[in-house]
Amino acid sequence: MNVVPDTSVVVDGRVSERIEAGGFVDATISIPEAVVAELESQANEGQDSGWNGLEELQRLAELDDEGKIKVDYIGDRPDAGERGHASEGEIDALIRSLAADLDAVFFTSDVVQAEVARSKGLAVEYVAPRTETVEHLAIEEFFNEETMSVHLRAGTQPRAKRGTIGEMSYEVIDEDPITAEELRELSQEIRNAARQSDEGFIELSEPGMDIIQFREYRIAIAEPPFSDGLEITAVRPIAQTTLDDYEQAEELKDRFLERQRGVLISGSPGAGKSTFAQAAAEFLADNDYVVKTMEKPRDLQVGDEITQYTELGGEMERTADSLLMVRPDYTIYDEVRKTEDFEVFADMRLAGVGMIGVVHATRAIDALQRLVGRVELGMIPQIVDTVVYIEAGEIDTVYDVYTEVKVPHGLKEEDLARPVIVIENFTTNEPEYEIYTFNRQVVTVPLKEGENQQSEQGVEQIARQEIEREIRSVANDYVDVEIQDSNRATVYVSENDISQVIGRGGGRISDIEDRLGIEIDVRTHEEQPQPSTSQQPTSGEGIVVTPEVTSRHVVISVEGHAGETVEVRADGEYLFTATVSRGGDIQVSRGSAIADELEKAIDHRRQVTVHPS
């Protein structure tokens, strides 16, 4: 009897197992060189399947020595072209061809291989792939009820994050450092469990990194060359919640059920975002909505009725295309980080699918601002109409997002009305932010007391830049701008530029005012209030200096301070730190960013001072 095994049964150890159980008596086991080449390749890449297969070949050699079977190696090693097309079945075809030439029994646990071989007229013996029930993983011993994650690195003490959501501590959980050998045994057990158990799967396998999902544990195994040492990180959710566990639960339930919505769940790492997303998913599924998830890796703990999808062909965009054919009512997208993620989220939302995205953000408004610049501004409320901010496992803030055509807060002229995105507190029904386009720039303006002054300064800065750009286009000398309020500004130019800026009959400045929607008063620099120019050093004010601009440098003379490290400021604003040369001066090369800031300060007649660092 002649038997030709393929790679699948060699890796699983099924050939020696069959022989030791009394099968294949006195058979010749003809092992294709293609199988050996495939095992070598896998072993060289650090894959356990390769090492398992090589160990099986050694067991077969021992059975040969005992006289139970005869082992032959047949065929040629596959060339580079055949190895490159292994995923297309080239290696499998070589192995089947050798079995046909020998009129041998083809032994496999690959159902596709078995069916193709039968269609070719081969005698096939198929055995189902090995699966085992894994009761317990050794790494679970490091977990207790309050453990969210375990961090193991060769040569260091095992550590874990323990506590409750929002109150985690990173602590040593064993005084004895874990060895590389112990880590290798743990990683081998974890990989085997993922392959052999129906409760686990390998999410990602690349040279140096495996990500494995086993029951509720997400386990990352990193090793060289990806990392500088062997490391295992295991993460497990520590809380299972329902929407009823949160404040504002009834209002949110009504909001979710009213119609498909675009929701961003935001918060800092470990705040409980994914836990809330799971609760929302379960609630929607319990209310007869078709719910799917998009995750990489897949680690949301949801019920069996919710199918969890990952990247299709390495791209979430393909996953989205597939989901649009399935037409779920809601999709949970965990996590939305990159521009491509936001684009996929937006595309699915605009296609009518309810979307719930999980986003890292330290403030509720930051989650919404992630969309600015990634999608058209006016489309944001159609993509996201609800923002839920989670802190310490609780709902901290909920925002309602909508568009309104109005004059933005703080502006007064009716002709300044425009589409404004209003971010309203869901609990108080009071607007807290506005997002709109101001002079071709997108601004986010807080409306709450205490934040308004800072926002107005931001708008004023944009307005100042726009006015300065317009006036500079017609003036020859430098321009200074002071914003009086949201509707008025004063522009200071040189005496020679006055007529050029104002234009005949005031026509040019009127055109600029119309374009910007701001009343502009034009004056000369001599009319501009000047800061004090006292050159005497005073406590805390530094030394007032007069920089000199040469063809190659901006030079600041600081006599008597050679070798000292000093700060250079303009009107008290920090510009840079420098060391005074032996000659008692500071030289900055023109064309550098520092020189540009310094020259701008000089042009605007700002007071330049030098302070001890």
DSSP state letters, 507-568 = HHHHHHHHHHT-EEEEEEGGGS-------S-BTTTBEEE--EE-SSEEEEE-TT-TT-EEEE
Burial of 574 (0-12, 13-18, 19+ CB in 10 A): exposed
243-440 CATH: 3.40.50.300
Alpha-carbon span 109 to 112, nearest angstrom: 9
- Calculate mean pLDDT across residues 341-368: 93
Tell me the per-residue pLDDT of 256-275, one tens digit each, with 9 for 90 and over: 999 999 999 999 887 889 88
B/e letters for 389-425, b = 16+ CB within 10 Å, e = fewer, are: bbbebebebbbbbebeeeebbebeeeebeeebbbbbb
Alpha-carbon span 75 to 332, nearest angstrom: 51
Q: Can you read off the two tokens belonging to residue 326?
A: 């399935």
On the question of pLDDT at 154 being above 60, the answer is yes
Q: Which pLDDT score is estimated for 455? A: 44
Tell me the per-residue pLDDT of 309-336, one tens digit each, with 9 for 90 and over: 988 888 899 999 999 988 899 999 988 9
In the chain, the percentage of residues whose pLDDT exceeds 90 is 37
- Calculate mean pLDDT across residues 10-23: 90
- Calculate mean pLDDT across residues 122-138: 82
- Are the C-beta atoms of 445 and 430 separated by less than 8 Å? no
Burial of 560 (0-12, 13-18, 19+ CB in 10 A): exposed
Q: Which pLDDT score is estimated for 329? A: 95
Alpha-carbon span 261 to 386, nearest angstrom: 8
Query: Which of 6-20, 148-162, 197-211, 453-467 has the least mean pLDDT?
Result: 453-467
- Are the C-beta atoms of 112 and 7 separated by less than 8 Å? no
Beta strand 291-295 with 307-309: parallel, antiparallel or unpaired?
Answer: parallel
Q: Which of 183, 28, 185 is nearest to 102 (CA)?
A: 28
Q: Which pLDDT score is estimated for 538? A: 40
In the chain, the percentage of residues whose pLDDT exceeds 70 is 90
Alpha-carbon span 127 to 410, nearest angstrom: 76
Answer whether CATH 3.40.630.10 is correct for domain 455-527. no
On the question of pLDDT at 374 being above 90, the answer is no
Q: What is the CA radius of gyration of the chain?
A: 35
Mean pLDDT of the chain: 85
Q: Which amino acid is residue 440, in one-letter code?
A: R
On the question of pLDDT at 415 being above 70, the answer is no
- Calculate mean pLDDT across residues 196-210: 82
On the question of pLDDT at 535 being above 50, the answer is no
| Element at 83 (helix H, strand E) | helix 80-84
Q: Which of 26, 33, 21 is nearest to 1 (CA)?
A: 26
Q: Which pLDDT score is estimated for 240? A: 74
3-class DSSP state for residue 292?
A: strand
- Calculate mean pLDDT across residues 375-400: 92
Q: Can you read off the two tokens belonging to residue 463?
A: 């307005």
Q: Which of 2, 137, 121, 130 is nearest to 56 (CA)?
A: 130
Alpha-carbon span 100 to 4, nearest angstrom: 9
Cβ neighbours around 446 below 10 Å, total: 19
138-235 CATH: 3.30.450.90
Query: Which of 136-140, 468-472, 510-514, 531-535 has the least mean pLDDT?
Result: 531-535
The residues pairing with 579 across neighbouring beta strands, listed in sequence order, are: 565
Alpha-carbon span 105 to 27, nearest angstrom: 10
Is residue 280 very low, low, confident or very high in pLDDT (cuts 50, 70, 90)? very high
- Are the C-beta atoms of 477 and 604 separated by less than 8 Å? no
The residues pairing with 200 across neighbouring beta strands, listed in sequence order, are: 214
Tell me the per-residue pLDDT of 62-111, one tens digit each, with 9 for 90 and over: 999 999 999 999 988 877 655 554 444 578 888 999 999 999 999 999 88
On the question of pLDDT at 290 being above 90, the answer is yes
Answer whether CATH 3.30.1510.10 is correct for domain 2-126. no
Q: Can you read off the two tokens belonging to residue 559?
A: 């006599």
On the question of pLDDT at 452 being above 50, the answer is no
Tell me the per-residue pLDDT of 221-236, one tens digit each, with 9 for 90 and over: 998 888 988 999 998 8
Is residue 530 very low, low, confident or very high in pLDDT (cuts 50, 70, 90)? low
